[in-house]
């Protein structure tokens, strides 16, 4: 099992290769987290086009779409072609960019958890790629158990923490 992280959108844009149902789920998750992304596929679902922060390139993926100095923070290979997914995964790993290869767990370097978001509160459920369906089911059970409003509690906790940190900050002798 790996370590869970919460990547910030300013880490860099994401690349999604594929335009169908799996790509749409990945794109929605990225859009909810306010990531900029590029989606490359010969056919791209209208739901992807409607999302914010999306650049759509409607054509077949080419190796030059994923150069060493790409600037991408994440890559998702989710086409219906095993060969394309394998190549995207190979190129991303060679460039040391975290990659999800939707049809090959061993070729992936990370997995996307099922996430609950309420304001700044995020709770992630992962099965390590074993069963995304099970992770989503567990997520729904957690949502039902927690109920709404925890995002406001997190916001209050953030304000209190900032107040405490400001009170602890050293003061200069000249009053500035």
Whole-number pLDDT of residue 59: 98
Residue 57 CB contacts under 8 Å (≥ 6 apart), including other chains: 38, 39, 40, 65
2-50 confidence digits (pLDDT tens): 777 778 899 999 999 999 999 999 999 999 889 999 999 999 999 999 9
Task: Label residue 96 left, alpha or beta by phi (over 0 means left) and psi (-120 to 50 means alpha).
Answer: left
Is residue 113 scored above 90 in pLDDT?
A: no
Whole-number pLDDT of residue 161: 87
Q: What are the chain's domains?
A: 9-112 (3.40.50.720), 113-169 (no CATH)
Structure tokens at 25: 């789920």
Neighbouring CB atoms inside 10 A of 108's CB total: 21
- Measured CA to CA, the distance from residue 83 to residue 101 in angstroms comes to 11
Is the pTM above the cut of 0.85?
A: no
Q: Cβ(54)–Cβ(47) under 8 Å?
A: no
Percent above pLDDT 90 for the chain: 53
- Measured CA to CA, the distance from residue 9 to residue 36 in angstroms comes to 7
79-97 confidence digits (pLDDT tens): 999 999 999 999 999 999 9
Is residue 162 scored above 80 in pLDDT?
A: yes
Phi, psi of 31, rounded to the nearest 5 degrees: -65, -40
| Per-residue confidence band for 58, with pLDDT thresholds at 50, 70 and 90 | very high
Average pLDDT score over residue span 94-108: 95
| Per-residue confidence band for 174, with pLDDT thresholds at 50, 70 and 90 | low
| For the ranges 80-94, 106-120, 126-140, 157-171, the one whose mean pLDDT is highest | 80-94
| For the ranges 41-55, 57-71, 160-174, the one whose mean pLDDT is highest | 41-55
- Measured CA to CA, the distance from residue 168 to residue 91 in angstroms comes to 47
Average pLDDT, the chain: 89
Q: Tokens 């994923």 correspond to what residue?
A: 66
Q: Cβ(102)–Cβ(112) under 8 Å?
A: no
Is residue 118 scored above 90 in pLDDT?
A: no
Q: Cβ(126)–Cβ(111) under 8 Å?
A: yes
């Amino acid at each position: 099992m790996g370590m869970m992280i919460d990547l910030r959108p300013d880490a860099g844009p994401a690349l999604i290769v594929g335009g169908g149902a799996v790509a749409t789920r990945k794109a929605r998750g990225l859009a909810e987290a306010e990531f900029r992304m590029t989606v490359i596929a010969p056919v791209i679902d209208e739901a992807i086009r409607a999302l914010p922060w999306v650049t759509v390139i409607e054509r077949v993926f080419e190796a030059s779409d994923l150069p060493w100095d790409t600037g991408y923070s994440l890559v998702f290979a989710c086409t219906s072609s095993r060969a394309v997914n394998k190549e995207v995964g190979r190129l991303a790993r060679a460039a040391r960019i975290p990659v999800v290869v939707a049809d090959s767990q061993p070729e992936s370097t990370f997995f996307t958890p099922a996430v609950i978001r309420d304001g700044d509160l995020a709770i992630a459920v992962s099965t390590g790629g074993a069963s995304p369906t099970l992770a989503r089911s567990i997520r729904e059970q957690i949502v039902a158990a927690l109920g709404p409003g925890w995002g406001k509690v997190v916001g209050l906790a953030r304000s209190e923490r900032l107040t405490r940190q400001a009170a602890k900050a050293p003061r200069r002798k000249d009053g500035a």
